[in-house]
Amino acid sequence: MAKKTTSRVAGEKRRRLSPEDRRKDFIRQATEFFADEGFNGGTRELARRLGVTQPLLYRYFPSKDDLIKEVYRTVYLEPLESGWEKKLTDRSRPIRERLQQFYNAYTDVIFTRNWLRIYLFSGLKGLDINRSYVSVVGDKILTRIIKECRFEAGLSTRAKPTPSEIEMAWVFHGGIFYYGVRKYIYESPVLESKEEMIAAALDVYLAGVAKTFAAAKQQADRP
């Protein structure tokens, strides 16, 4: 009896939602669903979990792919529009300080069970989420980091990043990402302070960048 009452109350709550709020609720619960089940889970199972009919779900999202795209936009793209890029390009502050602040904020978003599980599931499934997000990270984050490091070193920021510079940036970024995988997916012991981990990664990355740029400047200064 109590179960039926709870179900009825939940159904009444859903009926009271505005179309926009209901859409957001579907995206939120779909995020949980895909994080739990991966992308093999069908819309019938999802509708059952949402407590709605498939036709109602299709009124908001005509296909499963449309729903996945909305989950991607909400979970992965929207946070990148919250001013993080300005944290990287504020040249009134040292590059190390900017990078520490940026990665503190960035990892607050990505170091969650749902974010990481969906990202890894999509990679195994061969979906566009990974390819699209890798492209966004490369263009919006790593390329900017390289340019800001060049500026601080007194080098030109106009030239396209070299393959070596890009690889160094990915090794740095990927190491931070894998800390989250170890902690939230594998549940392995990790350094307790995330900020200390980021600081240690910055020590290694910035030392490598300084060495690479010093060699580049030396070569450029040769007659």
pLDDT at res. 3: 47
Rounded to 10°, the helix 43-50/64-72 angle is: 70
pLDDT tens track for 36-90? 999 988 899 999 999 999 999 999 999 999 999 999 999 998 887 777 778 899 9
Question: Largest Cα–Cα distance of the chain, in whole Å?
Answer: 88
DSSP 40: G
Question: pLDDT by residue (tens digit) across 167-220?
Answer: 999 999 999 999 999 999 999 999 999 999 999 999 999 999 999 988 877 776
Domains of the chain: 11-71 (1.10.10.60), 82-221 (1.10.357)
Location of structure tokens 């179960």: 3
Whole-structure pTM value: 0.85
pLDDT digits (tens, 9 = 90+) for 86-129: 889 999 999 999 999 999 999 999 999 999 999 999 999 988 88
pLDDT at position 10 over 90: no
Q: Taking Cα atoms as reference points, which of 97, 201, 197 lies closest to residue 152? A: 97
Looking at residue 206, what is its pLDDT?
98
Backbone angles phi and psi of 189, in degrees to 5: -65, 135
Q: How far apart are CA 139 and CA 148, in angstroms?
A: 13
